[in-house]
Every structure is written in structure tokens, then in C-alpha cells.
Amino acid sequence: MVTQKTRRLWAFLAALACVMWGISGLFAKSLFNVSSEITPMWLSQIRMVTSGIILLIVAVILKQKPIATMKNKHDAWVIIAYGVFGLLPVQLFYFMCIKVANASIATILQFIGPFFVLGYLTITHKQVMRRLDIIAAICAFLGVFLLSTHGQFDHLAITPAALFWGLLSAVGEAAYTLIPVNIVKKESSMVVTGWGMLFAGLSLVIIQPQFQAIPNKSEVWLYTAAVVIIGTIIPFQIMANALRYVVPSTASLLDAFEPFSATIGSVLVFGLIMMPMDWVGAVLVVVAAIALNIIPKKRSNKIGQNKLSK
């Protein structure tokens, strides 16, 4: 029997995993600041290929049979789609938003992904929206408006490029949530994520096969390793185990640590100036996204519950 002490421990570790996902954006921003030669494309390629290989090796060690999973043609195509249309935009567009803006904006904009899931389910599955869903959606997009304008109607406080890449990342987050919803019920999340990341990374290598001349500096490889290990491998392993002990409603609340750690880190490390309306907008987005999950629903799909990797 799982004790309350064990649940509290794993809740703490799950919160720590979310903080790691949040500060991975800070490492990425630091990396982009080292040299203009370091691009979101390069970092996405390195992060996904390396993380994918490591996860698959661990899966083999744990006897989760990743090769056998790919022998099923239907499952293989689902995993490929998950990588190319889910993980790829989530990673690449997230880093592109960080490069033109900061980790705080990128993480908060990505947090509205569940509302694209909600819209998709409403249109395609005739899912009836609760009053709470409607209120949460209004609050979320009001939060995006406040972040984008500082609450002033006559100008944008962030660049159109940052808003564009951030919203595309949120759409990718929706695809990343929806595509593997059935396969993760029968296959290991480590196997699905490992193959998905590998296919996503290799797709980017095919798109841009020639690597740019990356500066051979110690901080480049230190920040890159931090993005891969601290921002991917460790939090994935923690969260994969924590979800066995932490109920989904608690996990959804702990998700808030990700955008807030990215925001506080951006303020402390990069001197990001947050106006009062920016804080209001950030809180609106995060609370609205959490509201979709913390109240039980009589529906089969939990929005945003598929948290495999970030």
C-alpha cells in the first residue's frame, strides 16, 4: 500500500521535474546568447536525437522491447506521426520563440495548448463544453492578450514573431497530446517517447542535413548537455514514475511550476522586466489551463493529461 509520505515525496519530485522543464528554456536562451551560429534547428536536432537514443537504450535495459513495438505497422506510423507532428513542433517552435523572445513567454504561450485540444474535441467528437471550459478559454486568451500588449490596445509588447512561434508551439502541444493517446495505453511511454524523439530529430536532420560551425566552447556543450539531461532525460524519468503515485489533478496543479520557474528564472538571470499586467496574464493562462483538469469530467479524454516529455 502506498503511504501518504510516499505520495508527498513523488508530488515533490513531480514539481521538481516541472521546474527542470521550465529552466531548460533558460539553458536554451543562454546557449542562443553564446553565438548566433547556434540555432533552434541545431538545438532541436541534438536534443531530440540524443534524448531519443538514450531513452531507447534505457528501454532495452529495462526489457521494454522497443524494437518489437515498431514491428506493428499501425503503431509504428502512429509513433512517427507523434514525433513529426507532435514532438517536432513542440520542441522546434518552442526554441524559436525562446530565441526571438525569452523562456517565460515561450513556456506560457505553449501552456494554452490544451485549449486547442478542447477545440478539436468539440468540433470532431461533438464534445460538449462545460461552462468552466468556456470561462477558462476566455481567461487563457485574455492572459495571452495581456502578455502580448501589457494591457494596452495600441501596441504589441512582444514581437509578432514571438507570438507566432509561441502559438505554433501551442498547436504542436495539442497534437503532441492527441496523437499518442491510444498507443500509450498499451506501450511503454519511454518507448513511445524515445522513438518519437528519434524520428522527430532525424526529420530535422533530413530537412537541414548540414550542421553549422558551432563554436567549440565549454559553455556551449555545458548548456547543451543541460538541455538534454536536466531538461529532458531526468524530468521524463521522474514524471513517468511520479504519475504512478500522484493523481492527475495534483499533477495538473504541479504543472504550474514549469511556466513560473521559467518566468522567475528569466527575471533573475536575464533581467526580464515583467509589468504588473504581464504577471496577471501569466497567472490567467496557467490557472485557466489547470482548471481544465482539476475538476472531474464525465468524459473519456482528459485534456493535457498525456505528459510524456517536454
pLDDT tens per residue, range 205-222: 999 887 777 888 999 999
SS (H, E, C) 36-89: CCCCHHHHHHHHHHHHHHHHHHHHHHCCCCHHHHHCCHHHHHHHHHHHHHHHHH
The pLDDT of residue 305: 46
The pLDDT of residue 24: 94
**300 burial level (CB within 10 Å; 0-12, 13-18, 19+):** exposed
Evaluate if pTM is beyond 0.85: yes
The pLDDT of residue 249: 65
Q: Is the pLDDT of residue 310 over 70?
A: no
Query: And the C-alpha cell for 70?
Result: 515498431
pLDDT tens per residue, range 60-114: 999 999 999 999 999 999 999 999 999 999 999 999 999 999 999 999 999 999 8
**247 burial level (CB within 10 Å; 0-12, 13-18, 19+):** exposed
pLDDT tens per residue, range 248-278: 667 777 888 999 999 999 999 888 888 899 9
The pLDDT of residue 18: 92
